[in-house]
Structures are given as C-alpha cells and as structure tokens.
Structure 1
C-alpha cells in the first residue's frame, strides 16, 4: 500500500517545484540507510502476505451487487485492537486505494518453519470473520479482484455521480468517493498523476468478441458526458476506462520475504522475477471490466495503464521539454533491472536513469548495479509530496526515498530495511490476482514461499533476459494463457550443464505452464518435482506435508488443465447465465448472481471442484 500520510499533499503544480530536491535528497536518504544496513547479516527468514479485500453491499430486492464505500468508517474500529496490543493481534488492517477496499496482513510474520504453512489459511479466514462482526446483514467482505460492474451506473453505495469535467477526480465512469476517504494520499496521487500526464488516462482492454458483439465494438462516450477528450483515446474493439481506480483499485495478493542479508534478498529478487508471468497466468481471476467480458484474464494490463503519468514527450510522441527524458514504461509493470552480478548479464532493457544521481550513489560506494536501479527509480516525480516529507532528516529518515519507491509499482519490489526498525532486507512478490477462496490464497502464498526455499537450497537458475520476462508478462494476462500460451524459460534451471559454454539464446526454451510446473519428460525437471524433492529432504511432519501437498496439487492440476483458473470459472458463469445474450455484457443481474455465488463459495455454502480442491 505504501506511504500513508494525513498531512496535506501538494498539488502537482506545487509538487513539481520541489522535484530536484526530492530526487537528490531521496537518494541521499537511501545512501545513508544503505550505509547503516549493507553489512547486516544473519536475519531470520520471515515472510507474510497482504490480502486486499472488497466490501460489497447486496440489494437482494433489485438483484444488484454494489461496492460498499465504508472502509474509512471500518478502519478506525478495526485498528483499535492493534493500538491496544500491537503484538497480540492475529491480523493488522491498513487502508487501500478504494473506499471499498481493506488490506489485511498477519499480526506477526511467519517464520522459517514449514509447519507455519498450516496456519496461513486459518489466518486468512479469520481476517474476513473479524470484519464481518462490524457489517450489516446486507454487507459482506469478499475476495474479489474487481466488482464486475465497477464504473457502471448504480454500482456504488452511497451513489455519487461521476464528474468528468471537474478539476479533481475527473472520470466519465467513477466518482471521487470511490477513492479512500480517510487518507488523501491516493486521491491526490490520482489527480497529480493525470495533471503530470497532462492528458486523460487511456486504459483500453480488448473486448471478448462473442457472437453478438458489434463489429467493430465502440461505445458512444458522449452518453457519459465526454467532451471528446476520451473519445480520442478509445480504441475500436476495446473497453475504455479513464481512471486510476480501474487498475490500482483492483484487489491482489502480495507476498513479502526477508532475506538473511542484502545479497540473499537481491538473489531472490532476481530469481523470482522470471516466475512473475507464470504466477500471473496461474492466478488469473479478473476477466470482467466495467460490465464487459474482456479478452484478458488478469488485472495486470489495467494496472500498468492506470498509473502511466508520462507526458507525450516522455512517451516519444512529441519533442522533449525541459526536465523530460524518454521513459520506456509506466510506473507499473515488469521488473526492469536485475540486481546481482549473475543477473546483470541478462539486463538487456534500455534502462534510463539520472546520471547525476547515479554518480552520487557511486561516489558513496554503492555498487554500479544497485546504483543504476536506484537512479532509475528517481527519474520519476513525486505524486504525493507533503510538507512534512520536505522537512525530513536525510541521516535518520526515509520519507523522500519512500515517496518515490512506494509509488513505483513494479511486479517485484526490492525493499531496504525501514529506518529505526528491526526489519531486514526484503523482496515483495506483487503480481497475483486475489483468489476466490482462502484455500487458493493460502496455496498461492505458500507456493511462492516454498519456491524461495527451493531456489536457495538447490541454487536454481531461473534467469532469462528481461526483455523475455516482459514478453512473457504480455502473454500471461491473455485469455486462457495458462493453456494456450508458451513462455520463455531457462532450459537448465538446476545448472546441470553449467560446464557447457552456451549463449543466452541457447539457454532458453519456450515451455507451456504445464511443462514449467510439472516437468517435461527427460528435458525439463519441473518446479513441483523440485519442491517435492526439497520436502523429501526436510524433516516435515505428516500434517504439514499433507497441507503442502494439497496446495501443490492445486497448481499441478491448474497447470495441467485439469482445474480452471478463477478467471476461466468466472467467464463460464457469465456465458452460461440464462440472461447472457452473447454480447459480452455483464448485466446487473448476471453480476449479482455471480458475486452471490462467489460469496457463497467463500462461506463454504457452495463447492466448485472444477476451480479449486476441497478437502
């Protein structure tokens, strides 16, 4: 979720006056933090997950499911337990982008014992149950990547009309009250992002071309009071959206790991990066946007486009102006730089970075690879600057560093130790859609945690060129990518052929998800067989091994096509609904029935074994 502040956040016009100061002093703050922490050793392996929940209100009479905009009312109540006993709570609650969102994390991190895997699912379930104590009979908390009709008329409670021509949260489809109403950081970030871009946001997702979808498909945006600005950015055969909330308002599962030291954290950052697209495909759970079935299965593309604050010049569409440089990507997207010496040979993207800041980092003996990464982060501007951050002490604080770091949302994040806390060097794995059930979310978190142990124990090599990782990411969110796409992958992940002199191209293969996860006869060992080999060598009690095996079975069967992803199951519920007209429109009634069924599944009143395993 990043930096939270209650101090007034500057407008973009105010903020850009301080851009050079923020960049210089933000890097100085990192340097001082790095000097204090670079030799830190032997931290315990700890990890934890973050679940982003959706608050929904059902109108059972009218058969409508709406976003329930009450998170700002619930958070103070939920935080009372933590305030009274910070070390004695099962779960901790934090604000998220939307007024309909809550972020829940374990009260204490999990440790290095595999037996901790047994308590993950229970903790996730307890988070929902805790919130339910404070909800009315028509209100629920759900694990839902995005409400199917977010951005459609009458999709929020309370209802507020969008204000597309305002100077604040201007959108054709969503009103300003959908953004968190307790902490102004997200609202100001969204407004400043659009002001910096100096143009409307353009999120275009390909529509699912069912039998009765018009050819070409194109909405008349004048019906939403468009003055022509959005019409110019909407593409034929795409669902158009214009607000940060259509990406950053999606809910996800993130997992953070603490390494023994900085080097181990950098190894995990690099080695997990090529696995990001694989997990996007395996956890895809979001085929519907703004009431339409799309031809993608995940929130990834909408997240990338929803925070693209680059100007026309920075995107290469007009001559550069003062203080501009060509910037290759949005603030969200694929990892752009490996951080280890081994990974550096696969750093094949044209990474832009601030030369003066790079030299500042090198002058303070930060190694060149990490220096390039930090100097690259700081080509961005601050979108949520406040006066308190400008007063921070470079020797002891990290406010200005975190203001940039925390608003650059790559699929992996390298996290230095926080100032004045006992936490060590960490990496955050960020690409997974939130899953429908506690079981699936626990399986996902534990699967990634187990993968980190296997990577380090077997010294695996998953590294591939970052241009191939990016190519894989763009394959991973397509409809049914898990079964239809192939992905670039390291052919010899166990390094059994390291004595052979191979070019980078010769190291790579294009493999299916099934082959990557379950193995390919005699040519590729497979991730799950390696996990089972690791477990065979560990002293694992039978109950823990049974729990882990259930989680591995989920991914083994999804990868092989025996089980659906959540996205495929959701798509099936829509297309088989008696009121569906093969026009890719998800009506209020279809959405209501779908969301009700998902809620019943989450409450264990319905079972759908084609999507997940029930034990």
Structure 2
C-alpha cells in the first residue's frame, strides 16, 4: 500500500499548505538517490510477489458471509509469530486498506535461478496456512478480488452502519469507516481525497442487464442529501467511497533489475502486457450486491481515489488549480521510459514545467525528467506533522509521498536511500485468483516473460494510446474470448530509438514498417499461424534452451498450461466462473441481484476450492494432471 509513516496526520487544508514544500524536497530527495546510484550495475535479478487476502466469516446458521474487521489484530499476531521472532521467517505480513484485509509476501525475494519457480506455490501455501491458523472458528482467508456484497447492509462483522451525514472520513451511504484500516494513513487518504475533490468520489459501474433487471435500472437512496442522486447514472451500480476500490484485492510482482537502463526497458515492455494479463486474470464481476457488466476492478479502483477537482477534470475553467489532468492518480502509465519507447509516447502528457526544467538542469534525461514531472503534478494526500522537515540526503518520504500515491499499471521504483536494494519495477494490474496454484501460475508467467524479454532483447512496444485502448477493452465482460487487443507482430527486430515513427504510427505501423494489429488473447498467448507465434511457444522455446531440473520444468509447464487454457477459453476466468455460478443458483431471479444466500453459497464454494477440498475442473483443470 506504499509509504506507512507514523505520527499526527494533517487534514487537507493543512496538507495543502505544505504541498509545494513536499514537491520541492521530493525532487531533491529523488536527485540525491539518482546521483548516488545512477551508475550502479550488476545488481542480481531478484523478484517477489504480493498477495492480498480478505478475512471472512461463514455464518452457517443464517447462511450469510461477512467481512471480519480484525485485520489489525491478525496482522500483529502474524508479525509477532513471524518476522519479529525470526528475521529470516519465510513470510512477511503487511496492512492493506480494508480493516478486513492483509497482504502477504515471501520473507526474502526470489533469485534468478529457474529452480526458484518450484518454491512459489509452496510459499503461498505457507502464507495461507499461517494466516488461517490464527483465525477464529468459522473464519477463513479468501483470495477473491471483490467481495460481492461489499457495501450492502450488514456486510461486516461486527456490524456497523455507514455515517453519511455525521462526522467521518468517507461519509459513504454504504461503506462504514470502521471497515477502513485503523492506521491513520488510510483514513487520512480517504478524508483528504474527498476534501480535495470537493465532493465524494463517484463510481458508476454498468449493471448487467439480465431478463428481469429493471430497465432503466435506477436506485433510490433514503439517506441521500442529493449528492448521490446527482452522481448516480441510470443503468449503473453507484458507489461513493475509496473502500469500493482500495478494498479490493490484487496480485502484484516486483522485479529488481541489474541497472537503471534495464529497469526502464522492463517497465516499458511490461506496460504493453498490463491489459492482456488483466483480462486473463479477470475476477471481479460483482459490486455492491449486483451483477455488473464488467469483469475487472481497474475502473472502479481508479474512480475510488480520483481526487481531481472539477477544474482538473475539465468541467470548469482553470482558476484555483494549475493543471487540466486527464486521468485519475490510479490509472495506466502515461509515458514510456526507455529510448526505445520515446517514439511511441503519443499521449498528451501534463507535466510541471518548473520541475521538469529543474530535473533537466540537474542532468536527468528528457524521458525520466518528464516521468517525474508528470507524477509531481499531483498534491500530497497524506502528510504527518512529524514528517514535514526531513534530512533530504538520507530520507525519501517526500518523494515517496507522491511516488506511492500515483498508483499506475507499472511502477518505476528508485532504490531507497542508503540501501542495497537496486532499481525495481512493479507489475500491478493482475486480479487475485482463488487458489495458490493459479496465483503462482500468473506470477511465474510474468517472471518468465521478463527473462525472455531480457534474454532475447524482444520489443513489444506499440503506441501508448493503443495500450490505453487495450486497458478499456480488457475490463469488458468476457474480454478473454470476445475482446480484441492491439499487439505487435514482429517482436524480434529490437528497438531503434532513432527512427521517427510519427507518420508510421498513424498508419498502424511501427518504425520498421511492421504492423501492430488487433489480435485475440488466444492469438497473443497461444499463437496463430501467419499472424503471431504466441507467447507460450516463445516461453517453451526458452525453457528448452535452459538447463532446468525435471521437477521445476514440470511445475512451470503446468502453470503455462493453465495460462494457455484460460487464453483459449477452454478454462474459464474467475469472473466467468462466478457469473455462471450465480446464474445457475436456485435463488437467482435473473434480476442482477446477489442475495445473502447466493453470496454465502458462492464464497463457501470458493473457500472449498481454495483449500483443495473440492475440485473445479472448469476453472483450474484436472488436478490429477497438475503434477502436484
């Protein structure tokens, strides 16, 4: 979740006074880090995953499932038993936005040897068992992306009512403040986003129109003071709090590159895969007790932290604000960082010109300078009184304040001051899956892709505007089977940063004259003769040329088999599987409503599959053939 400072949080008006101070010193801190480690080479290729979990209670008597708001206590217990007792403990636990959420990572990063792939699922299993062991009776650990009845009456344990008209941080009609993590960072972010924006956040998700869904679908909100009525769109599910986005779970992977150049190259290349892998991992079709017409959480989470004012969103002329800002601070990347990517930077990039000039004058190259100057058009959202005046030579809190609240599909991460950590990139768009096997498969797939990209010097870059179009397509219902995505055909020519491709890009060509064309996910992943050879065949070719022990090879091939079959439609995505479960439920009335009973049966089934008590061949395949 980014920077977690301790201290006395400032409200928005106080934070606003220090915004320029934070930006000024954030740039100084970045330059200090950059100048110390810009020449650093030969860092080891390390990587690690992050899995977010929900704590849920199964109420068998009432056939109801609730989110348990004791994540803080669970986290403290896990840390006391783990890293605080043994610095080499195999798991690490961290807080997340919801007070019903925790995040688990490996205790130490994985290394560059192929045999590491054989330990990923084992470590995820350790995390699940470890956290499950400290839960109360009838409680369980769930890796689901979105809780289907988040924001419905009585969705928490203990039960709390929202406080839309009283003093509080979110003032939501649906989401009680008690469901927010008690660390002051989280409530401060929530309150300050609302205050900076000048109103509550607005999230509208298209509802899935089933046979008996009202048309138009229009909700009435008894507690509303008029704000929801103005904001809610017909035929949409309306949500009004940061928790509806940041209260979802995801799966992320961070890589340490051997140099800053390699990190920038990986950042760009992986950015083109973000929409593809997001669609492949689609797992969130339900919101606030309704069936939606989307399969991924990305647009929801983007809107949930959109602190832009009306001026910044282009609804009013600029008067109090400096910039017209085209996206939420949680969105897809806006510029490539490598020299290969420069010619494909075709998105209007809003930058702080003063900061950009300061960086250029300090010797930062154009691409990195504009990246930082773009991040720094934002204001700090969470500031602690004790953290205003810092030692810029040895601290980076002001830089991280803005860096870590620009939540993009990829994150470029400079090393912390005075550490042995290298330049890193974080791959952020994946939805979390039900089982450790599935989560391991997606993680290993992405890590293998980085190995192949670096080994073969592959080039997947296309104009960034096309990546944005792919992001929109990836969130649509059943995008894996029905969506079409811009993708580059010839990936072996490598990049030529010198050639100008502005005219070629307009014609759907890259600078070497090769087409990037619309492809299905099946074609991108599995290949199609005469169109594209496919990522899985490329990975298989790479594996054949590597020395890999039999166990590891078997494990990797099983993971790739899952990805291959999901891409072809032979296996369902989590989102599709959940939709079919609800559709076939005896209580479902084809009205797009997920009742407590439907939710209970769905999550009980999910829990059973996650624990290996029940098979689910349509989602995971036949476990007999997994080699596990």
Partner-residue secondary structure (3-state), 2:192: helix
* Matched ranges for 1:42-441 at <5 A: 42-168=42-168, 169-181=170-182, 183-221=183-221, 223=222, 225-441=223-439
Distance 1:338 1:588 in 2: 45
CA 1:497–1:165: 2 relative to 1, 3 Å? closer
Deviations, residues 578-613 of structure 1 (Å, cap 9, x unaligned): 000000100000000000000000111111111113
Alpha-carbon deviation of 1:154? Answer: 0.8
Once the 2 structures are TM-superposed, how far is the Cα of residue 375 of structure 1 from its aligned partner? 0.7
Aligned length: 612
Question: In the alignment, which residue of structure 2 is the partner of 1:603?
Answer: 611
Q: What SS is found at the alignment partner of 1:342?
A: coil
Shift of 1:87: 3.3
What is the SS of the residue equivalent to 1:24?
Answer: helix
* Superposition deviation, residue 166 in structure 1: 2.8
Q: Tell me if the contact between 2:90 and 2:107 (Cα under 8 Å) persists in the aligned partners.
A: yes
Q: 1:529 pairs with 527, 530, 537, which one?
A: 537
1:461 counterpart = 2:459 = yes
User: Contact 1:335–1:411 at 8 Å: present in 2 too?
Assistant: yes
Tell me, what secondary structure is at the counterpart of 1:482? helix
Name 1:19's counterpart in structure 2: 19
Structure 1 residue 79: Cα displacement: 0.9
Offset at residue 81 of structure 1 (A): 3.5
In the alignment, the residues of structure 1 paired with residue 83 and residue 519 of structure 2 have an alpha-carbon distance, to the nearest angstrom, of 49
Give 1:395 shift: 1.2
Q: 1-side partners of 2:191 and 2:177: how far apart? A: 10
In structure 2, the partner of 1:579 is: 587
2:512: which partner in 1? none
Q: Distance in 1 between matches of 2:386 and 2:259?
A: 31
Q: Does 1:542 align with 2:543?
A: no
Give yes or no for contact 2:55–2:68 (8 Å, CA) kept in 1. yes
**Distance in 2 of aligned mates of 1:513 and 1:101:** 32
**Secondary structure at the residue paired with 1:199?**
coil
Cα drift, residue 75 of structure 1: 1.4
Deviations 1:209-231 (A, max 9, x none): 0000011001112x2x0111111
Q: SS at 1:341's partner residue?
A: coil
Give 1:565's aligned residue: 573
CA distance in 1, matches of 2:491, 2:284: 31
Partner of 1:518: 526
Q: Work out the CA distance in 2 between the residues paired with 1:496 and 1:410.
A: 26
Render the CA deviation track for 1:40-98: whole Å, top value 9, x for unaligned. Answer: 11000000000000000111110000000001111111111444345321100000000
Is structure 2 residue 46 aligned with structure 1 residue 38?
Answer: no
Three-state SS of the structure 1 residue aligned to 2:273 is helix
Q: Is the 8 A contact 1:207 1:238 kept in 2?
A: yes
Structure 1 residues without counterparts, runs of 5 or longer: none
Q: CA deviation at 1:38?
A: 0.5
TM-score by length of 2: 0.96
Say which is worse superposed, 2-11 or 64-73, in terms of deviation: 2-11
Q: TM-score, normalised by structure 1?
A: 0.98
Is residue 204–residue 237 contact of structure 2 (8 Å, CA) maintained in 1?
Answer: yes
Deviates more, 1:248-257 or 1:379-388: 379-388
Find the aligned partners of 1:456 and 1:83 in 2 and give their Cα distance: 33
Instruction: Give me the whole-angstrom Cα distance separating, in 2, the residues matched to 1:74 and 1:137.
Output: 14
CA deviation vs aligned residue, 1:8-62 (integer Å, no higher than 9, x gap): 2110011000111111111111011110110111000000000000000111110
Deviation readout 1:452-503 (Å, 9 max, x if unpaired): 0011111111101111111100000110000001000112112289899982
CA contact (8 A) 2:459 2:495 kept: no
- Give 1:529 deviation, angstroms: 0.7
Quote the offset at 1:541 in angstroms. 1.0
Could you tell me how far apart the structure 2 residues matched to 1:443 and 1:56 are? 25
Q: 3-state SS of the aligned residue for 1:57?
A: strand
| 8 Å CA contact retained: 1:331, 1:410 | yes
